[in-house]
Amino acid sequence: MVANDGGALLADLADPSVTWIGHATALVEDEGDVWLTDPIFSDSILGLRDRLHPPGIPLDRIPAPRFAVISHNHFDHLDAPTIEKLPTSTVMVVPLGLANWMRDEGREHVTELDWWESTVVGDWTITCLPSQHWSLRTIDRNETLWASWLVEGHGRRYYFAGDTGYFLGFAEFGRRFGPIDVALLPIGAYAPRWFMAYQHMDPAQALRAFEDLGARFLVPVHWGTFRLSDEPLDEPPRELARVAAGRADLADRIKVLAIGETFHLPSG
């Protein structure tokens, strides 16, 4: 972790940045707008899996997010206590089937999208894209959609993969939506492979997805926060470094962040 009290965010800095809050939660600030991916700030998942590190920035130190994108309804990606605490003004952008759940949680501003559909929130165009995963909240297996997201605004494009195995969609996204500035890709919860391969990428596959997307920067997420699988919690970034070793073209493009650390996008 690195210490981050959110002071820079509260100062309303204009330079675009990505801060890793932990797990699949990232905070993007771009020209004064703040938005979140799969926000989870709770100390545990259903009281069964404890958070091993606190959120990189406390929720009460984050400026009101303009919107949040939700990838699917698994408890480590859709956290009811966090959703209830977000400002009422925050627009929740969700895959097909989750709007009613959000309204049951008291959310008034909800947009539900199918794959390949888009919506506009302020200066941002948000497109719902496929992923290779599944959904389950209680007994509702695959009754709601799972998704990844392309978020475009202020002359920049961000891609958030959510939870996914490796599939050929990444190359299609690169062809349709490139150039992509930042790809937020999961690199953890991949062992054992016989069980996880369909639904979670390993670091080598995340690197391949990054190259398929043709993105400028890779910010790895989905590791080091909750114990969800068999690999050691600190293994994913080390394995990513191993598979990227010797690749001079990747040295300045892979941005492994500590929890609470911020990556400021360079100009140009």
Per-domain residue ranges of the chain: 7-257
Q: Is residue 50 classed as helix, strand or coil in its secondary structure? A: strand
The mean of the pLDDT values for the chain is 95
Nearest-angstrom CA–CA distance, 165 and 177: 20
Does the pLDDT of residue 13 top 70, yes or no?
no
pLDDT of 268 reads: 65
Please provide residue 263's backbone torsions phi and psi, each rounded to the nearest 5 degrees: -105, 120
Options 3.40.50.150, 3.60.15.10, 3.40.390.10, 3.40.50.300; CATH of 7-257: 3.60.15.10
Q: What percent of the chain lies above the pLDDT cut of 90?
A: 88
Rounded to whole angstroms, the Cα distance separating 195 from 173 reads 26
Question: Inter-axis angle of helices 203-213 and 169-177, to 10 degrees?
Answer: 30
pLDDT of the residue at 168: 96
**HEC letters along 150-166:** EEEECCEEEEECCCCCC
pLDDT beyond 80 at 167: yes
Cα 28 to Cα 24, 45, 81, 159, 247, distances in angstroms: 13, 24, 21, 11, 27
| Digit-coded pLDDT (tens) for 147-162 | 999 999 999 999 999 9
* Position 105 pLDDT exceeds 80: yes
